Amino acid sequence: MNVFSVLVIDDEESQLQSLESFLTKRGYAVYTANSGEAGFKIAKSNLIDIVLTDFNMPGWDGMQVLQKMKELNPEIDIVLMTAFGTIESAVNIMKSGAFDYLTKPIDLDELENILEKIKERKLLIGENKFLREQLQDKFRFEQIISQSSLMEKVLNTAGRVANSKATVLVRGESGTGKELIAKAIHFASDRKDKPFITVNVASLSENLLESELFGHEKGSFTGAINQRTGRFEEANGGTIFIDEIGEIPPPVQVKLLRIIQYGEVQKIGSGSSIHTDVRIIAATHRNLEDMIIKGEFREDLFYRLNVVPIVIPTLRQRKEDIPIITDHFIKKYSNENKKNVNGITHEALDQLMKYNFPGNVRELENVIERAVVLTRNELISTQDLPMLSSQKEIDKKMDPYNLDDGYETKIKSFETAMIQEALSRTNGNKSAAARILGISERHLRSRLERL
C-alpha cells in the first residue's frame, strides 16, 4: 500500500516543525517549504498527494499556491490554513478547488479527520461503482456535441475501435478534445468498469515521468523514500491515456515499446516484471513523422501506437458546430452559476463564427463561461465578448499581409505567441516548452528575458 505524501507550506518555522512531527508520526511522507514558490518546486520534482498550505504568506498566498498546484496536477488535494475563518473566505476557498480549510490555531484532530477523508477518497476513486457510472454517463459518445460531417467521421471511427484491443493515436491541436475522445472510447468499451488513467507527459520531467508510468522501488533513486505504484499497474484491466506522447524522451520510449510488445512493466529499481493488461490511447499535437526523421521519436514505437489513427479537426474547420457547442456551454454554465442566461444575440454569435479560435473548443468554452458569469442580461451580447475584440488587434499584428506595425513588432508578437502557447501546453514547465519549440532551455530563458 502506498504511503501518502504531504507537502506543508508555511512561513512560520515553528508551525512547519510542529506539523512535520505530527504527520511523520502518523505515517505520512512529509515535505516542508517556507514559501509557495519553494513548495511548487518541490511538487514539480516529487510525487505529492496532499498540500497543506498557509493562506497568508509573503510572495504567493494560499490561493496562488492552490491555483499553481492544480495547474501542475489536478489530482493533488489542497487544504488551506487561515486565520480568517469566515464563511465568505471558506466559500471562496472551496469554489477555487480546495478540498477543505482549517482555521488557526490548527486543531490537530480536525486536521487528521480531513486527511483521512482525502485518503479514503483517493483509495476509493478507482473502485467506486457510483463514480464509474457518473463518468460513463459524462463521457459517452452522445455527450460529444457536434453536427459536422468531419466530427461524425471521428466519432464513427472511435465507436468502431472501442471494443478492440488496438492502440489508438489521437491527433489534433490543443483544445480540440483529444482526451474527451479517449474517454468516450474507454467508456464505450468492455473495459468501462476498469480504471481510466491519464498521464500528461509534458508536465513531468524525465525522471518523474518514468516513475509516474512504471512506478519505483523504495531507495531506487534519490528521493524515493517509499515504493510507488506506476500508472500502468494502476490501469490494469482498463485504459491508460498518454497525452502529449511526442514529449516522451528516448529512454522512456524504449520501455513503453516493451510494454506494448510484451505487456510487462518493470518498476525502477526492480529486477522483476509485472504483467499488465492495459489498452493504450495516446495523443499528440506534434508531427511525429518529422520527429522520426530527426531521430527524436522511435519509428517502431510510432507504428505500434498508430494502429488506429484518429485526427480531430480544429474548430475553425467545423464552424457549423459553434452554435450548438455555444448553446451547450450556455446551459452548462447558467446552471452551474445559477444565472438566467437563455441564449446569445445574433450579433454575438456572428462574432463567434467569424473568430478563428486558435484554442479551439477549450477557448470557446472559456469565452462562454466568462460571458455567462459577467452578463447582466438574459442573452449574451457582443458587450459580453470583449476578449474577441482585443483578439482582433492581436490577429492584426500576426497577419503577415498587414505591414502597419513594422517588422520588429510583428516578429516579437509572433515569437511571444509561440512561447506563450508552449508554456501553456506544459503548465509553465520551461524545459518541456523548450523541447516543443526545438530550442534549448537556456535559449528559451534568454528569449523570455528579452521579450
Q: Looking at the domain that runs over 5-124, which CATH code has it been given?
A: 3.40.50.2300
Phi (first) and psi of residue 388, to 5 degrees = -75, -35
The C-alpha atoms of residue 384 and residue 348 are separated, in whole angstroms, by 8
The C-alpha atoms of residue 222 and residue 270 are separated, in whole angstroms, by 15
Task: Place 257 in a pLDDT band, splitting at 50, 70 and 90.
Answer: very high
The C-alpha atoms of residue 167 and residue 185 are separated, in whole angstroms, by 11
Dihedral-angle region of residue 16 (phi above 0 means left; psi in -120 to 50 means alpha; beta otherwise): alpha
Q: Which of 135-144, 156-165, 235-244, 264-273 has the highest mean pLDDT?
A: 235-244
Q: b vs e for 210-219, b when ≥16 Cβ sit within 10 Å of the residue's Cβ?
A: bbbbbbbeee
Task: Place 124 in a pLDDT band, splitting at 50, 70 and 90.
Answer: low
The C-alpha atoms of residue 328 and residue 314 are separated, in whole angstroms, by 18
Using an 8 Å Cβ cutoff, are 370 and 387 in contact? yes
Class of domain 132-311: alpha beta
The whole-model pTM stands at 0.59
Using an 8 Å Cβ cutoff, are 97 and 70 in contact? yes
Mean pLDDT of 245-255: 91
Beta 228-229 vs 215-216: how paired, if at all?
A: antiparallel
Same fold across 315-397 and 399-450: no
Of 47 and 343, more confident: 343
pLDDT, the chain, mean: 84
| pLDDT of 262 above 90 | no
Q: How open is the CA angle 85-86-92, to the nearest 5 degrees?
A: 100
Give 146-162 pLDDT, tens digit per residue: 888 888 888 888 888 99
Residues near 159 by beta carbon (within 8 Å), at least 6 away in sequence: 141, 188
Q: How far is CA 183 from CA 192, 249, 275, 278, in A?
A: 9, 25, 24, 14
Q: Looking at the domain that runs over 399-450, which CATH code has it been given?
A: 1.10.10.60
Tell me the DSSP string of 259-290. Answer: HHHH-EE--BT-SS-EE---EEEEEESS-HHH
Task: Place 83 in a pLDDT band, splitting at 50, 70 and 90.
Answer: confident
Structural domain spans, the chain: 5-124, 132-311, 315-397, 399-450
| pLDDT of 417 above 80 | no
Mean pLDDT of 97-120: 89
Cell of 39: 513548495
Task: Place 126 in a pLDDT band, splitting at 50, 70 and 90.
Answer: very low
Using an 8 Å Cβ cutoff, are 364 and 357 in contact? yes
| pLDDT of 394 above 80 | no
Q: Which residue has the cell 493562506?
A: 55
Predicted confidence at residue 393, as pLDDT, reads: 53
Q: Which residue has the cell 510510432?
A: 302
Q: b vs e for 230-252, b when ≥16 Cβ sit within 10 Å of the residue's Cβ?
A: bbbbebbebbbbbbbbbbbeeeb
Give 185-242 pLDDT, tens digit per residue: 999 899 998 999 999 888 887 778 888 888 877 756 666 667 778 899 899 999 999 9
Q: Which CATH architecture has domain 315-397?
A: Orthogonal Bundle (1.10)
The C-alpha atoms of residue 167 and residue 134 are separated, in whole angstroms, by 25
